[in-house]
Amino acid sequence: MTKLLNQITILKTANIAAPIGFHADGQHVGIKHKSKDLGWIYSDAIASVAGVFTTNLVQAAPVQLDKQVIQNGQLQAIIVNSGNANAVTGKIGLTHAKSMQEMAAQQLNIDSNLVAVASTGIIGNVLPIETITRGIKQLKVDGDTQGFAHAIMTTDTKEKSITIQSVIQGKPVTMSGVAKGSGMLHPNMATMLGFVTTDINIDATLLQKALSEDVETSFNQITIDGDTSTNDTVLVMANGLAGNPLISEIGSEYDQFKEMLHIVTTALSIAIANDGEGATKLIAVSVTNAKSAVDARMVAKKVVGSSLVKTAIFGKDPNWGRIIAAIGASDVALDPTIINIKINQINVLLDGTPVEFDTNMMASKLNEHDIHIDIDLHMGNESGQAWGSDLTYEYVKINALYTT
Amino acid sequence: MTKLLNQITILKTANIAAPIGFHADGQHVGIKHKSKDLGWIYSDAIASVAGVFTTNLVQAAPVQLDKQVIQNGQLQAIIVNSGNANAVTGKIGLTHAKSMQEMAAQQLNIDSNLVAVASTGIIGNVLPIETITRGIKQLKVDGDTQGFAHAIMTTDTKEKSITIQSVIQGKPVTMSGVAKGSGMLHPNMATMLGFVTTDINIDATLLQKALSEDVETSFNQITIDGDTSTNDTVLVMANGLAGNPLISEIGSEYDQFKEMLHIVTTALSIAIANDGEGATKLIAVSVTNAKSAVDARMVAKKVVGSSLVKTAIFGKDPNWGRIIAAIGASDVALDPTIINIKINQINVLLDGTPVEFDTNMMASKLNEHDIHIDIDLHMGNESGQAWGSDLTYEYVKINALYTT
């Protein structure tokens, strides 16, 4: 267990069903050849819900459905399949998403308007709805809770989950998150999915506000290949069973909630970046002293998204020329002659001028798995971060050899 | 010779010095190990000039210099080196660019304000100015005119040039162009450079207008890796020696000039895309029936720039899911349910619905070198195009293995 500020504790074992009153399952039901491909999350009590979705105009059927479902701010269950994205599947796609929703509601004996649906996998293939509805009947309320994180994976090589605990107004509270995604849009596989459960008692409007603000600095700051999925979905369920007084206005409890949410979403974001398709490196770009936080995030994301920076890091090349060129192309007003750049703590550019560095020490630093690029813009006081992975032969292989 | 509309003829042999009164040379002077690395273009008469430059805020010294030089609309010579970009080289960089300018002016016995400078190559290394000034003394007014196109190459594998001829108001006129670039920004190599010479008599203001408009549909519509160079430069010199009455207002002669310019810049753009780093394919995306030409170009460029589309084409995968996802992420208002997509003339999506196609025929089409993706948005009457290359192991290799 790791103690953080504000007495927030990260548990050694993560579990999406850890908060009071949450249940989950994840099983193999036959959508994919062998691995787990169907799972759900269920809350004993109706939870406040918040969601953010892909900004792609091409939106998968479950995304279209969920946007309606969460409008009244309430949710009790989420049913998720991998292996098929149910995207660009015509009108039958929405019918299938609704069938998934209704079948899950029936099994859980709740109103179907309280069930959200998510799908991830191949685009353009009709959902094998009979396999899925048969599969839903196999799911248990108290099933393989660890299995849920696996059931939503596609080309992911690692499960991505976190559970944290804290105390709000004397009440112990728990928050868990799971995510999947190793490209913003996979081969034909699609999608970043993220699900957060918590027993904290919080108003749905504030929950949505917290999530909408948070994703700007977490999930929206990861980039693997610059492509935006048709299925990206993040849902947060807060069922209130921790018994803290309802958080219904901005104040210290809301701030604490936001801090917890940020720890969960940032951890999941870094886990996704770390598991980028074909990645050998995690690249973390930190921009300080920007005029605005938006500027800082734009610069960070431009650098971490540059194919040339990504290939340089793969090649263990301290190629700051590509970094400064990406900064200059970020559409942010800045002065190249006052910028500092560090690569894993070694200065490479000071006040826009190249710095001689110890090439042996740099070579050793570039052998590390985590590459930190620190950029000081000297323009103001705001900061921002972004995360990504290197661009490798394996990325090309994964994305070139997968054939529809 | 190929006859086009408006009696424009493409010559079999291209030469930047083909228009009346133009001269050129390209030599090896020792900036690079073996290949040609210094060249110039010279016009007997002072020419009208127009230029467009990188939008990157980090601008190489020669770019900063040229922006001032062309302000009075006149130019007589361009001196260009490869092997070193003279970018992010501090204050000494501008001093070196001016030295190049002055030395070339001295050798040609013209005013230094009539000389533009361009550099391409490694970023952040101080220009070997003594090698260059010594080299300038070796250049001849009537030198190796074909060599100029080679002297400006970096990782390019092919020379890129074109010469066309037509008649304006009874006067035969000639226009030539050369370009270099195989990534928007190379390893540490940088840059797209383009130079157009013509003997057409045209006012400098109209020339700038024509160029500024033209690049929106030509050079700005190529993307290799989404990175923007610190050195991108396109210069057009029109010396008027063809003797046609001065084109000083918009009308049929101006339209003909624009058409000629577009043929030259588009041919060079396609040649650059075709020579993308590590490319095995040319990808040409054509968008029709968009609400506006800007929309059409945005969609085309988003698709041709998608890493997932580029890897799919490398893998000969007719992965229209990635194409429609890129279209949806283009920030253009559109309706995914009415879009048609063709890959090399085979329908894959009709009215937003997947079309069954002959997989053998598709496999054979995807073996072709040129891959045409045609997108009908069904939203209006405007169209646009973009060009790029596939994303290959070789691209990663070129960009990962090059070490500063």
The predicted structure's pLDDT at residue B195: 96
| A344-351 contact pairs (CB < 8 A, 24+) | A344/A368, A344/A371, A344/A372, A345/A372, A345/A374, A346/A318, A348/A318, A348/A320, A348/A323, A349/A320, A349/A323, A349/A324, A349/B88
Binding-site residue positions of B for substrate: 154, 180, 191, 277, 399, 404
The terminus-to-terminus CA distance of chain A in angstroms comes to: 44
Q: Residue B399 above 90 pLDDT?
A: no
Residues 6+ apart with CB under 8 A from B106: B112
Region B256-264 average pLDDT: 95
Question: What local confidence, expressed as pLDDT, does residue A190 receive?
Answer: 47
Residue A18 burial (C-beta neighbours within 10 Å; 0-12, 13-18, 19+): buried
Instruction: Say whether residue B92 is in contact with chain A using an 8 A CB cutoff.
Output: no
Return the pLDDT at B357.
94
Q: For residue B260, is pLDDT > 50? A: yes
Distance CA B367, CA A319 (A): 35
pLDDT over 80 (residue B246): yes
**Counting beta carbons within 10 angstroms of the beta carbon of residue A9, is it exposed (0 to 12), middle (13 to 18) or buried (19 or more)?**
middle
- Measured CA angle at B356 (ends B354, B359), to 5 deg: 125
Please, which pLDDT band fits residue A185 given cuts at 50, 70 and 90?
very low
Indicate yes or no: CB of A90 within 8 angstroms of CB of B400: no
Per-residue model confidence as pLDDT tens digits over A272-312: 888 888 889 999 999 999 999 999 999 999 999 888 899 99
Residue A308, chain B, CB below 8 Å: the answer is: yes
Question: Chain B partners of A333 at a C-beta cutoff of 8 Å?
Answer: 57
Amino acid occupying residue B359: T
Residue A73, by phi and psi: left (phi above 0), alpha (psi -120 to 50) or beta? left
Lowest mean pLDDT among A95-104, A266-275, B369-378: A266-275
What's the CATH architecture for A282-401?
Answer: Roll (3.10)
Asked if B283 has any chain A CB less than 8 Å from its own CB, the reply is no
**What pLDDT was estimated at residue A6?**
60
Altogether, the residues listed in chain A come to a count of: 404
- Looking at per-residue confidence, does B190 or A366 come out higher? A366
The whole-number average pLDDT for the span A98-104 is 98
Q: Which two tokens stand for residue B66?
A: 């040229």
| Whole-angstrom distance, CA of residue B136 vs CA of residue B83 | 15
Q: List, for residues B351-363, the tens digit of each pLDDT value.
A: 988 899 999 999 9
pLDDT at A404: 40
Q: Within chain A, which residue ranges are assigned CATH 3.10.20.340?
A: 282-401
Residue A183: pLDDT band with limits 50, 70, 90: low
Contact between chains at A90 and B315 (C-beta distance less than 8 A): no
Question: Strand B38-53 vs strand B22-27: parallel, antiparallel, or unpaired?
Answer: antiparallel
Interface with chain A: mutation pick from B311, B337, B355, B398, highest number of A CBs within 10 Å = B311
B334 to chain A, any CB pair closer than 8 A? The answer is yes
Paired residues of A3 in beta bridges? A9
Question: One of A54, A89, A145, A191 is an active-site residue; which one?
Answer: A191
Mean confidence (pLDDT) of chain A: 91
Asked whether A148 and A40 are in contact (CB, 8 A), the reply is yes
3-state helix, strand, coil in chain B (%, to 5): 35, 30, 35
Catalytic site residue from B191, B197, B233, B266: B191
The mean per-residue pLDDT over the stretch B273-277 comes to 85
Report which secondary-structure segment, H or E, holds B382. strand B382-389
Nearest Cβ partner for B404 among A87, A311, A317: A317
Model confidence pLDDT, tens digit, residues B54-105:
888 888 999 999 999 999 999 999 999 999 999 888 889 999 999 999 999 9
B123-157 confidence digits (pLDDT tens): 888 999 999 999 999 999 999 999 999 999 987 88
Binding-site entries of B: 154, 180, 191, 277, 399, 404
Q: Is the pLDDT of residue B187 over 90?
A: no
pLDDT exceeds cutoff 60 at A86: yes
- Under 8 Å between Cβ of A260 and A222: no
Give the residue carrying structure tokens 């603000």. Answer: A213
Q: What is the reported pLDDT for A278?
A: 85
Q: What is the pLDDT of residue B122?
A: 82
Question: Which residues of chain B make contact with A311, given a CB cutoff of 8 A?
Answer: 395-396, 399-400
- Measure the CA–CA gap between B140 and B151, rounded to whole angstroms: 14
ipTM surpassing 0.95 = no
Mean per-residue pLDDT, B284-294: 97
In whole angstroms, give the CA distance from residue A256 to residue A259: 5
User: Is-contact B203 B48, C-beta < 8 A?
Assistant: yes
* pLDDT (0 to 100) of residue B402: 58
Q: Name residues whose C-beta falls within 8 Å of residue B257's C-beta, 6 or more positions apart in sequence.
A: B168, B200, B202, B206, B210, B247
CA atoms A89, A95, A101, A107: torsion sign: negative
Q: Which B-chain residues 32-61 have CB contacts (< 8 A) with chain A?
A: 55-59
Residue B255 pLDDT level (bands cut at 50, 70, 90):
very high
Q: What is the pLDDT of residue A275?
A: 86
Is A315 in CB contact (< 8 Å) with chain B?
Answer: yes
- Cα dihedral A85, A87, A88, A89 in deg (nearest 10): 70
Judged by average pLDDT, the poorest of A173-177, B252-256, B393-397 is B393-397
Is the predicted pLDDT of residue B185 greater than 50, yes or no? no
pLDDT 10s digits, B308-366? 899 999 999 998 988 998 999 888 999 989 999 999 999 999 998 889 999 999 999 99
**Nearest residue in A to B322, CA atom:** A188
Residue of A298, A319, A331, A366 for testing the chain B interface, max B β-carbons within 10 Å:
A319
Classified by CATH at the fold level, domain B2-274 comes out as: L-amino peptidase D-ALA esterase/amidase (3.60.70)
Could you give the percent of chain A with pLDDT greater than 70? 94
Which helix (H) or strand (E) element contains residue B395?
Answer: helix B393-401
Rounded mean pLDDT, B209-223: 91
- Determine the residue type at A323: I
Helix (H) / strand (E) element for A263: namely helix A252-274
* Location of each CATH 3.60.70.12 domain in chain B: 2-274
Contact (CB<8Å) B352/A401: no
Chain B touched by A368 (CB under 8 Å) = no
Instruction: Give the minimum alpha-carbon distance from A185 to chain B in angstroms, rounded to a whole number.
Output: 8
A217 in active site: no
pLDDT tens-digit profile of A146-178?
999 999 998 788 899 999 999 999 999 999 999
Contact A311 B183 (CB under 8 A): no
The pLDDT of residue A396: 85
Chain A residues within 8 A of B317 when measuring between CB atoms: 400, 402-404
For chain B, say whether A404 makes contact (Cβ under 8 Å).
yes
- Cβ atoms < 10 Å from Cβ of A139: 23
Selection from B285, B311, B281, B295 nearest residue B375 by Cα: B285
Q: Which residues on adjacent β-strands are paired with residue B159?
A: none
- Quick one: pLDDT at residue B1? 41
Other Cβ atoms less than 10 A from the Cβ of B147: the count is 19
**Number of neighbouring beta carbons within 10 Å of residue B170:** 8
Binary contact (A399, B311; C-beta < 8 A)? yes
CA distance to partner chain B, nearest, from residue A244 (Å): 41
Closest-CA residue in chain B for A306?
B227
Dihedral (Cα; A13, A18, A24, A26), 10-degree rounding: -10
Task: With CB atoms and an 8 Å threshold, state whether A334 touches B57.
Answer: yes
* Contact: B322, A188; criterion CB under 8 Å: yes
- Tell me which chain A residues have a C-beta less than 8 angstroms from the C-beta of B327: 57-58
Does B321 touch chain A if contact means CB atoms closer than 8 Å? Answer: yes
Does A188 contact B at CB distance below 8 Å?
yes
A190 contact residues in B (CB cutoff 8 A): 321, 325
**pLDDT, tens digit, for every residue of A34-48?**
999 999 999 999 999
Beta strands B9-10 and B2-3 are: antiparallel
Q: What is the pLDDT of residue B229?
A: 72
**pLDDT for A113-124, tens place per residue?**
999 999 998 888
pLDDT at A226 over 80: no
